[in-house]
Amino acid sequence: MQIINTVAIASVIASAAASKIQVGDDAPLNLAITADKINAMKTTWTAGVPSRFANATIADAKRMLGTVMPHESGYEAPEVEKVTFTTTGSIPTDFDARTAFPNCANIIGHVRDQSDCGSCWAFGSTEAFNDRHCISTGDSKTLFAPEDTVSCCSGLNCAMSMGCNGGQPSGAWKWFIKSGVSTGGDWGDIGTGTSCKPYSMQTCAHHVTPPPGMIACDTLEEYATPKCTSSCNEATYPIPYAKDKAFAKTTYSVKGEENMQRELMEKGTLSVAFTVYEDFEAYSSGVYQHKTGRSLVVMLKMIGWGVDNGTPYWTCINSWNDSWGEGGAFRILRGENECGIEGSVVAGEV
């Protein structure tokens, strides 16, 4: 019976992942039309035409994303929902984890690059865990490895996550508890021996003219999921893989605006997923809210909130390097569960 159940679960997840690329997704994004439409609305955000997606199709955009939302088949929610918090009293109008936890500002504010791999789920989870580890231990130098998460967090131990083909934050956080995650810097750190598993997929210019030494993402072939290994990728890194691991203690969901705010103030950044649409690919600056286009899904980490000209927002950091959006970050409408962002939050204690 267990084998049958395992196959059934795997089939559901595989079907959900396959359904992300659908008939008609070879159509162009047409971001120029989308940007003109958004900007003509004079809404709370500004659209542009990132060069990365100038000639992209819907399928190209979907490959950069990859997680499962609560309303979709195969979604696995954390078993525990956190509803009790230690903070009391009023909540501040503005909050930014980078300034609230200044010792960890360089970790929390570090913008990473998933390259041409649908590993946003691994980055959003690993980075939030990394931030909380820094806040809890005071270790402001160690970067954790999305490479370890994307390659080794799979199967039943990781909510059937599938590497560059998508995954779930609830599975990643369970994996942090059971298996831990190793250290790992960015692609540019390969060969330095400063971490166990630096990211093996090349940093690329997602939305801008490539600066010297960087290539455009659309010149790269889509990466396959790296092979999971039980040893470090850096021969000169002095700590064995098994001893390089950091572990989480618990994992849970957090739902609703106020609970999310209190959790951010108490423990640090959150792993969040939300349904975005074609217009998100044209985001340039401001407070994003959906206006037009077909649905996509993305996952990242949330670091704070604020108000812009009367519009409340959440601040999030993406994994498309710091040339995208507002220095790698973006803001999204707060308090309205915009695109489901207040209903699919995962966190944990470290």
Residues 6 or more apart whose Cβ sits within 8 Å of residue 183: 142, 143, 144, 145, 195, 196, 197, 237, 239, 244, 246
More confident residue, 22 or 136: 136
**Between these two residues, 47 and 289, which has the higher pLDDT value?**
289
Q: Averaging pLDDT over each range in 27-36, 176-185, 278-287, which range is the top one? A: 176-185
Which range of 36-50, 98-112, 313-327 scores highest in mean pLDDT? It is 98-112
At 202, which amino acid appears? Q
| 2-9 average pLDDT score | 31
Contact residues for 311 (Cβ-Cβ < 8 A; gap 6+): 44, 287, 333
- For residue 39, pLDDT over 70 is answered with no
Give me the CATH number covering residue 16: 3.90.70.10
**Domain range enclosing 187:** 2-347
> H or E element: which one contains 16?
helix 2-20
- Do 308 and 331 contact (CB within 8 A), yes or no? yes
For residue 114, what pLDDT is reported?
Answer: 92
Q: What is the pLDDT of residue 1?
A: 29
**Rounded distance between C-alpha atoms, residue 85 and residue 93, angstroms:** 19
Instruction: State the Cα–Cα distance between residues 17 and 21, nearest whole angstrom.
Output: 8
**Residue 22: pLDDT above 80?**
no
Distance (Å, whole) CA 170 – CA 67:
11
* 36 pLDDT tier (thresholds 50, 70, 90): low
- The separation between CA 118 and the C-alpha centre of its own chain, rounded to angstroms, equals 10
Q: Which of 231-235, 240-244, 327-331 has the lowest mean pLDDT?
A: 327-331
Q: What is the mean pLDDT of the chain?
A: 83
The predicted model gives 216-224 an average pLDDT of 84
pLDDT at residue 86 above 50? Answer: yes
Is pLDDT at 325 greater than 80 in this prediction? yes
Interval 167-181 mean pLDDT: 96
How many residues are recorded in the chain? 350
Give pLDDT, residue 17.
41
For the cut 60, the answer to whether the pLDDT of residue 68 exceeds it is yes
Please say if the pLDDT value at position 293 is more than 70: no
Comparing 113 with 220, the larger pLDDT belongs to 113
What SS3 state is found at 81? strand
Positive/negative CA dihedral, 113, 206, 314, 296: negative
pTM score > 0.85 for this model? no
End-to-end CA distance of the chain: 35
Between the alpha carbon of residue 344 and those of residues 220, 270, 332, the distances in Å are 31, 10, 15
Instruction: Tokens 């009293």: give the residue.
Output: 89
Does residue 347 contact residue 128 with C-beta atoms inside 8 Å?
Answer: yes
Residue 207 has pLDDT above 70, yes or no: no
Return the percentage of the chain with pLDDT > 90, whole number: 58
Number of domains in the chain: 1
3-state SS track over 183-250:
ECCCHHHCCCCCCCCCCCCCCEECCCCCCCCCEEHHHCCCCCCCCCCCCCCCCCCCCCHHHCCECCCC
